[in-house]
Structure 1
Amino acid sequence: MGMEYSAQFQKLCQIEARRSLIIVGIVAIAYVMLQFFMLPYGNAFKFLLPDNEVSLSAKSGYSSNQSSVRAEKEGEINPSSFVEVVREDDKINDDDDVNEDDNVSKEFDRTKQDIVALEGNDRDESLGLDKPLKFLDVMEDNNSKVEADNAGKSEIVGLEDQNSFDSGLELNESSSFHGNENVESWNQANHLQAENVRKLPDSDLDVPKNDSEVMSVRRRKKVRPGMPPLSVTPIVKMNQILARHLASSSKMEIFDAKSKIIYPTVSDVDKELHAPVFRNVSTFMRSYELMEKTLKVYVYRDGKRPIFHQPTLKGLYASEGWFMKLMEGNKHFVVKNPNKAHLFYMPFSSRMLEYALYVPNSHNRTNLRQFMKGYTEAIAAKYPFWNRTGGTDHFVVACHDWAPYETRHHMEESIKALCNADITIGFKIGRDVSLPETFVRYARNPLRDIGGKPPSKRNILAFYAGNSHGYLRPILLKHWKGKDPDMKIYGLLPTSVSRRMNYMQHMKSSKYCICPKGHEVNSPRVVEAIFYECVPVIISDNFVPPFFEILNWEAFSVIVAEKDIPNLKDILVSIPEERYIEMQLAVKKVQRHFLWHSRPVKYDLFHMILHSIWYSRVFQIRRQ
């Protein structure tokens, strides 16, 4: 009897053991399948390997150009997602970069003249243009210091001590950072000059299109520098694009601001505003009021000078510097708690990025773009806010001609306020903001010499003087230089002429100021003409004028197609005197929106830039 019970018990144990093994097997298969379908290729079976066997392959499912970062081990950070290598998909192709940079050395020589003394800060000798720059020195944590006993670990400048990371912020398994071997290779990469950074072929890059991918890589058609655009988008078409954008945004973004802007309840228009210069003055007023009441901005403190937090307040690129200075010092819109912010400002200077990193005569700006890509990825790794929206609530303000290139791909969904507002190189009407290019001569008093003669005393029909940059200005000079006494068209203003009447006096005495494009579509002469109360004549196909979503440029400017340069005088003469008087008055009224003040005032340039960024965010189209 005892033997029979013993046999039955052994049989029952065997059945239960088989059943347990089957259950374990099913669970294991389900887990493997879940890993396979939920994670990118190459990550599914890494949990089966020991840590020291996880390879750092460039073919990993999460490449370094992604800002959605995951953790493999607490306290381990991979700098490969910050610098790594210059990749072929970032570079587009070698021919494209060479073609796109034909005029780089000329542009550098031109902008080099605009470098001003950096107030209160001497230029670091390590940032000399003829010396290598430590690529990672940009990122600096302003809130914590790295302890001496962490010296054995890899130090990623700009990220907090690994232990201070939020447990909810994970690092990418494929970007894990292991051992002293990787520390050594990281330090070597840290000291590489940008022009010597090695490149991986396309075959080594396999970037899957998955839900976690934030920064998409897009290829664009080659741009032919120094040549007319292949296609032209007239101002009428730009108006249609803007109208479609405003009508198609179906989701309220910031509280109920959108509905209040679309259906304003404002009955009395502010007497300080000149209605004709706006598309819809009531809409603008309501949006501006909501911005003042609602908007909160968080300013990232990460990053070292001079590329970050060091505004240039004088010269061609002063717009980005003045905005940076006033935004960082603002107490009404800026919040210290990022969880309360609607927008996030990344305060870099495209001018100082070029000044610090570009190698003269190299005809290669890839290191500038790679630098900004690393900064963006570090921000995404340190804070949860970028990944939360894919960067759609982040913005930059950059005035250098190269800014569209420097922010390509990795800031594709962010709001970019750019002086180089060119539709053909990726400027998006309704998302991006056309930033006015202001040439500030006197940083201590940016309003010095403002204004000009009244219309009755402006005896010059049209005026232009300047360098022959780009393909368009030589055409203008060919048709009009010295051809007509009413058309004061020069190259550089001759000394014999400037002795009698200098450049500023010419603008103050002219009815129309000609503003042709140079190397790029933007020109400081547009704002300069408004400053001296001269009606601007914009000759630049595919240029989106500043604050295009708000202002009615046809009320205070003349927009001429490049092909119509031979008919320029006929176009200007055909404008009735009454119409000119209206436009000149509109120029004087709109002038207040293009002025910098040491302490911002209502409706000034600082508030107009911030309003356009706010307005873009409210009506922003979210790509699914």
Structure 2
Amino acid sequence: MFRRSYELMEKMLKVYVYQDGEKPIFHQPILDGIYASEGWFMRHMEANENFVTEDPGKAHLFYLPFSSRLLELTLYVRNSHSRTNLIEYMRNYADMIAAKYHFWNRTGGADHFVAACHDWAPAETRGPLLKSIRALCNADIEVGFSVGKDVSLPETYVRSAQNPLKNLEGNPPSQRPILAFFAGNMHGYVRPLLLDYWGNKDPDMKIFGPMPHVKGNTNYIQHMKSSKFCICPRGHEVNSPRIVEAMFYECVPVIISDNFVPPFFEVLDWESFAVIVLERDIPNLKNILVSISEEKYIEMHKRVKKVQKHFLWHSKPEKV
């Protein structure tokens, strides 16, 4: 049923892209960094000749091409701890679209959508945009992510805008001597717990704080390529670029983030290629991982390689 529906979508779907909105917040994609997914989506959608229509009367969906990252960089007042002006900016934009065009008012914005990857995007898309389809990296059901309406967008860390697939590969299972690996900043409440229970306490569990910076981040990448399981704990928010990063280097992701809705969960069986651990089960993390048989791990590793293609950005769109 999904395949047939997808084939019909490819033949029929038309999207109208609003030209309204000034750069840099609109129409100026960022193509590298941890928020790059929203930029690559914007770039490919605005340039698409198959789906995009210049006639809004023929459109099934309407795209509002804003960058949540550039909204933050442009308008956030440093150290103010307030996002009120960002929320108000997007509210005013939606009101302008509704006043200028009649398409919004037909459905209350329900056939309009945004793609936004910054942690603050759920807040920025409140108000009138809340009725729209929101493709969000911060897919947190506790802060208003609506399963069945909203879309969980992969947070893909793109290290090179010129070559988004740079260093794509990992070691085979036989060359992964490390059971589990994590390194990163200690923001949020989960990561300090992870470090407290497992940091420097077990040779099989390589759990660190921030690793010393090395050109190209080679030490961190090599650890991911040499580990069976890559731990992906939430930070301040439920999402983590490590989930896709793990799959990029063919490491089985271990997601520790209650209330997170994984990307494409409607069509991908996440439990077949990832381990999902409740935050309260951090003390039992090693037991959970060693209970996975070698046979099952090898199958999970194969499936990571199989689904990897769904989380990659290409310089030119490719059908997978």
- The bucket for the TM-score relative to the shorter chain is over 0.9
Q: Could you tell me how far 1:412 is from its partner in structure 2?
A: 1.6
Q: CA deviation at 1:316?
A: 1.1
- Aligned partner of 2:128 in structure 1 is 410
- Structure 1 Cα separation of the partners of residues 8 and 187 of structure 2: 42
**Residues 485-512 of structure 1: CA deviation (Å, up to 9, x unaligned):** 00000001147x9999700000011000
Aligned to 1:516: 233
Summarize the Cα distance change of 1:318–1:498 in structure 2 as closer, same or farther, 3 Å threshold. closer
Once residues 298 and 555 of structure 1 are traced to their aligned partners in structure 2, the CA distance between those partners, rounded to angstroms, is: 37
Letter in 1 for 2:118: H
Paired AA for residue 461 in structure 1: L
Q: Distance in 2 between the 1:488 and 1:408 partners? A: 40
* Distance in 1 (alpha carbons) for counterparts of 2:298 and 2:61: 40
AA paired with 1:583? M
- Aligned partner of 1:506 in structure 2 is 223
Alpha-carbon distance, 1:464 to partner: 0.3
Q: Compute the displacement of 1:294 (Å).
A: 1.0
Match of 1:451 among 158, 166, 169: 169
Aligned twin of 1:595 = 312
Q: Give the structure with the higher percent strand.
A: 2
List per-residue Cα deviations over 1:273-326 (Å, max 9, x = no partner): xxxxxxxxxx2x222211101100000000110000000001011000000000
Counterpart mapping for 1:17-32 below 5 A: none
How far the C-alpha of 1:550 sits from its partner, in A, is 1.4
- Asked if the contact 2:224/2:246 (under 8 Å) is kept, the reply is yes
Name which of 435, 443, 450 aligns with 2:153. Answer: 435
Moved over 2 A (4+): 497-501
1:313 to 21, 28, 31: 31
What is the letter of the counterpart of residue 537 of structure 1? Answer: V
- Map 1:197-276 to 2 at 5 A: 264=1
Equivalent residue number for residue 553 of structure 1: 270
Aligned-partner SS, 1:431? coil
Alignment partner, residue 192 of structure 2 = 474
Letter in 2 for 1:376: A
Larger radius of gyration: 1
Secondary structure of the 1:541 match is coil
Deviation at 1:413, TM superposition (A): 1.1
CA pair 295-501 structure 1, distance change in 2 beyond 3 A = closer
Q: How does 1:39-188 map to 2 (within 5 A)?
A: none
Q: Distance in 2 between matches of 1:558 and 1:586?
A: 12
Which of 515, 519, 526 is the aligned partner of 2:243? Answer: 526
1:28 is matched with which residue?
none
Is 1:347 the counterpart of 2:52? The answer is no
CA distance in 2, matches of 1:529, 1:570: 21
Whole-angstrom distance in 2 between the partners of 1:458 and 1:308: 43
Matching of residue 302 in structure 1 with residue 3 in structure 2 = no
Q: How many residues align?
A: 320
How large is the Cα RMSD of the aligned pairs? 1.5
Per-residue CA shift, 1:572-607, capped at 9, x if unaligned? 00001111011000000001111111110113xxxx
1:568 to 285, 296, 314: 285
Give distance in 2, aligned partners of 1:553 and 1:473. Answer: 22
Deviation by residue 1:153-177 (Cα, 9 ceiling, x = unmatched): xxxxxxxxxxxxxxxxxxxxxxxxx
In 2, Cα distance between equivalents of 1:575 and 1:405: 39
Q: Distance in 1 between matches of 2:121 and 2:315?
A: 25
Q: Percent identity?
A: 70
Residue 551 of structure 1 and its aligned partner are, at CA, apart by 1.1
